[in-house]
Amino acid sequence: MPRAFTPKVVTANHLLEGDVIYQTADNQWSRYLSEAEVLREEDPAKQRLSFAEQQAGEIVGAYLADVKVGPEGPKPVHFREDFRMTGPSNYNHGKQADLEKAS
């Protein structure tokens, strides 16, 4: 019996900057999972992934990542995605630096 499809987002890395990015519903890329388009059916998810893979000049390593949907938007299901979402593991770079500036 095939496994039930779980909600997913298209994620990749920005080609030049290396940041983790997420595909939005308006065909843009965001550095924030909360802005990602949540895909709830297999065929549209495959189509969105295919669209992302055609953007080789902008992104690298696109794939579908499982998410759970809550009141504040999508959240990672797996540790790997939670780790990727927070930015580099060394501090004061990318998203972590932005968080410090906002504090």
Q: Delimit the domains of the chain by residue range.
A: 8-102
Q: Which two tokens stand for residue 39?
A: 């895909």
pLDDT at position 20: 94
Q: What is the pLDDT of residue 91?
A: 57
pLDDT digits (tens, 9 = 90+) for 60-74: 999 999 999 989 889
pTM for the predicted model, two decimal places: 0.81
Q: What is the CA 63 to chain-centroid distance, rounded?
A: 9
The rounded distance, in Å, linking the Cα atoms of 8 and 101 is 31
Give me the pLDDT at residue 14, please: 93
Question: Which residues of the chain fall below pLDDT 70?
Answer: 1, 87-103
pLDDT value for 82: 83
Q: What is the pLDDT of residue 65?
A: 96
